[in-house]
Each structure stands twice: as structure tokens, then as C-alpha cells.
């Protein structure tokens, strides 16, 4: 039996930091409101001309270094993003050209905040099937490019960054399971237009925040129970929860429903804001590099986003 395991993680955040007090000067908001409602204190914003693939390349090179692999070793690229550099070629292809691993499959996945979970699930399946040996799963975003900086209800939330993992085959798990879901009937609750549909021309992220909040909390706790049940494990077996970093209140509510103390939850939302597809791999890389997540520990990754789409991965690190 072949499993996939995480050989290395990496992440990258743009240099520019935007604090809540910076935002107070831009829209009618306060540091207190943002902290209380979201937990966010600061976030990173890409420089002019810095693209999603620029951020992803840095994260990927860090993951490859951590795994002791060279860019030309990569043989599969799954790239989660909602803010691609171009309509096409996709971000996976643009990254592949920079890494020099010509000829290997490379594609992007546009499932909003769960883009990395979808990318990871596909990379896992290709490694398990013996069709890839060094598979990259990436989440990278420049959400600042589709944020309406005059709209206080969204400007305080979204930010830029990138994270990546390199998977390799292993006789031991590794990734124990992945679960992916979508429910398109919620399509109008959270979206960004500006595509080819002339009826939805507003490109800026549009969200009914409090409605999304309620569905996110109930869906995420069910999603975690689904992953544990599929592996015949109790909630207490988890060493770490690595959740999508949209809002500290959603993370706390999810942890409460699971009776999981916050000491066992990786939180980066205070420093990163909501980086959509980049959020989970950024949090994971922080957890690994800070020494919190140790080899052999059991962790659950989960994300929820526009669509709605959501997914989880239960992983023995
Ligand atoms: N500063 C001050 N006041 C504000 C701000 C702001 N930045 N934004 C909104 N308000 C006001 C509103 O106008 C409203 O005022 P009113 O009561 O006078 O009408 C009041 O604050 C409360 O607004 P709510 O929207 O009800 O606030 P809520 O507590 O729900 O917090 C938030 C809003 C932070 C957006 C929250 O609902 C949330 O996090 N939702 C989920 C986000 C999420 O998980 N998205 C999914 C992933 S993202 C993706 O897929 C791209």
C-alpha cells in the first residue's frame, strides 16, 4: 500500500504590512471593531507588480528546500487560487516554467478558500496511485487585487500570501484521508464577479458576512467529525487543528464544538488576515517551523469558502 506523506512545507508573505490602524485611515472602522469581530491585527499586501505566482514560487522553493528536493524533481503541480495572474495559462503552468520541470502536469483549482484542500486531495491521489513521486499542492493569493478598499465590510478581512507542501510516496501514512464537498446553491452569498457573466460585473469580493459565518461554523464541525469517523478516531486523538484562517470567532466556535482547547489550534489569522487558498498552508508552515507540529503527530486541516466549497485532510505528519 502506498500513501503520500508531507516531505516539506513552505510559505511566503509579502513585505508590506497593513495594520488595523492603517485601515482606520482608509475606511470608517476601528482597530477595536476589527479585533473583536475578526481577531485580525495586521495583514500582508503584495507590492505593485508582485503577482500570485511570484508569491507561490517563494513558498514552493522553501518547501523544496525543507524536503531536500530540487525544482526539477517535481512531477505534479496542483495550484489553488482565486486570484490568478492570467485567465490562461493557469498559475500551475506559469510556476512550472519557473521551476524548470517541463512536461509534468500543472493546473490551477478555483475553489476559493478551499483551493488548497482540493489541490492537496488531488496531489495525494496521484501519489497514492503511483502516478507522481514529488507532488506540489499550493495555495496562493493576491486578494488585495480583488478587494474594494472603500468597502469596510470586506477591506478589513482579506490579504495576500502563499503556502505550499511537497508530497512524496511512503509506506506509512501520511495523509490518512481527504474529504471534499461543494454546495453551489450558496453561490450568491460569497463571490467575486468580473468573469464572462455580464450579469455579475463587480469584481470585488462580495459577501453576506453574518450568513456565511453561521454556515461556516456548522459545516466545519460536521466536516471534522466526518474525517474522524472515516478513520475510526475520537476527537481526543487530534494533536492539532489547522483551520482555514477567516475569522478567529469561527475558529474558536469550531474548537468549542470539538472540545478542543485553543492551545491545540494553529492560529495565524491575527497576523495574516484571510488569505483564502493560502490560509491553511501558511498556517501549516507556521506550525511546522515554529516547532509546534512535530513528526508523528496527528493533525486535521480544514477550509471553507466561496461556492460554498469545503474540505478536510487528516494527516499523520
Ligand atoms: N468596521 C466597523 N463596523 C463595521 C465594519 C467595519 N470594518 N464592517 C461592518 N461593520 C458594521 C456593519 O455595518 C453592521 O452595522 P449595523 O449593525 O449598524 O448594521 C455591524 O458592523 C455588524 O455587521 P455584521 O456583518 O453583522 O458583523 P459580524 O459580527 O457578522 O462580522 C464578519 C462581520 C467579520 C464579516 C463576519 O460575519 C465573518 O467573519 N463572516 C464569515 C467570513 C468567512 O468565513 N468567509 C468565508 C471564507 S472567505 C472566502 O471564501 C473568500
pLDDT in tens, 24-82: 999 999 999 999 999 999 999 999 999 999 999 999 999 999 999 999 999 999 999 99
The set of protein residues with a Cβ atom below 6 angstroms from ligand 1 is 29, 33, 37-38, 112-113, 152-153, 156, 190, 209-210, 212-213, 216, 246-247, 250, 274, 276, 304-306
The pLDDT of residue 258: 85
120 CA → ligand 1 middle, Å: 30
Asked if 174 and 78 count as a contact pair (C-beta separation under 8 A), the reply is no
The pLDDT of residue 1: 86
226 CA → ligand 1 middle, Å: 29
DSSP one-letter string for 37-72 = HH---EEEEPPTT--HHHHHHHHHHHHHHHHT--GG
Whether residue 244 lies in the annotated active site: yes
pLDDT in tens, 258-287: 889 999 999 999 999 999 999 999 999 999
The Cα-based distances of 142 to 42, 85, 169, 254, 281 in angstroms read 16, 9, 31, 27, 15
Nearest-CA residue for ligand 1 atom 46 is 305
Close Cβ partners of 290 (under 8 Å, ≥ 6 residues apart): none
pLDDT in tens, 148-205: 999 999 999 999 999 999 999 999 999 999 999 999 999 999 999 999 999 988 899 9
Nearest-CA residue for ligand 1 atom 24 is 210
For the chain, the maximum distance between any two Cα atoms, rounded to a whole number of angstroms, is 57
- Least Cα distance to 178 among 299, 287, 296, 315 occurs for 315
- In angstroms, rounded to a whole number, what is the distance separating the alpha carbons of residues 108 and 277? 11
Quote the percentage of the chain above a pLDDT of 90: 96
Asked if 237 and 298 count as a contact pair (C-beta separation under 8 A), the reply is yes
Alpha helices in 76-208 (DSSP H): 91-99, 115-128, 152-155
Amino acid at each position: 500500500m502506498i500513501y503520500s506523506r508531507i516531505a516539506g512545507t513552505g510559505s511566503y508573505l509579502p513585505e508590506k504590512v497593513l495594520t488595523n490602524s492603517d485601515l482606520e485611515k482608509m475606511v470608517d472602522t476601528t482597530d477595536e471593531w476589527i479585533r473583536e469581530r475578526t481577531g485580525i491585527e495586521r495583514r500582508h499586501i503584495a507590492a505593485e507588480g508582485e503577482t500570485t505566482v511570484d508569491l507561490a514560487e517563494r513558498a514552493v522553493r522553501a518547501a523544496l528546500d525543507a524536503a531536500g528536493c530540487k525544482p526539477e524533481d517535481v512531477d505534479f503541480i496542483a495550484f489553488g487560487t482565486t486570484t490568478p495572474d492570467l485567465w490562461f495559462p493557469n498559475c500551475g503552468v506559469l510556476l512550472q516554467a519557473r521551476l524548470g520541470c517541463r512536461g509534468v502536469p500543472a493546473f490551477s483549482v478555483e475553489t476559493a478558500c478551499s483551493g488548497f484542500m482540493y489541490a492537496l486531495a488531488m496531489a495525494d491521489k496521484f501519489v497514492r496511485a503511483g502516478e507522481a513521486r514529488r507532488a506540489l499542492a499550493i495555495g496562493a493569493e493576491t486578494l488585495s487585487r480583488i478587494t474594494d478598499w472603500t468597502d469596510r465590510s470586506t477591506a478589513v478581512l482579506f490579504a495576500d500570501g502563499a503556502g505550499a507542501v511537497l508530497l512524496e510516496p511512503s509506506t506509512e501514512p501520511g495523509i490518512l484521508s481527504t474529504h471534499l464537498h461543494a454546495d453551489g446553491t450558496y453561490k450568491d452569498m460569497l463571490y467575486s464577479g468580473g468573469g464572462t457573466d455580464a450579469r455579475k460585473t463587480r469584481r470585488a469580493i462580495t459577501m453576506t458576512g453574518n450568513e456565511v459565518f453561521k454556515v461556516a461554523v456548522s459545516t466545519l464541525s460536521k466536516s471534522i467529525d466526518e474525517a474522524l469517523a472515516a478513520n475510526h478516531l475520537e476527537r481526543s486523538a487530534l494533536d492539532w487543528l489547522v483551520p482555514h484562517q477567516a475569522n478567529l470567532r469561527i475558529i474558536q466556535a469550531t474548537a468549542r464544538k470539538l472540545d478542543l482547547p485553543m492551545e491545540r489550534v494553529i492560529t495565524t489569522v491575527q497576523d495574516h488576515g484571510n488569505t483564502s487558498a493560502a490560509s491553511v498552508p501558511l498556517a501549516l508552515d507556521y506550525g511546522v517551523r515554529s516547532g509546534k507540529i512535530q513528526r508523528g503527530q496527528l493533525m486535521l486541516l480544514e477550509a471553507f469558502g466561496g461556492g460554498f466549497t469545503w474540505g478536510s485532510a487528516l494527516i499523520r505528519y
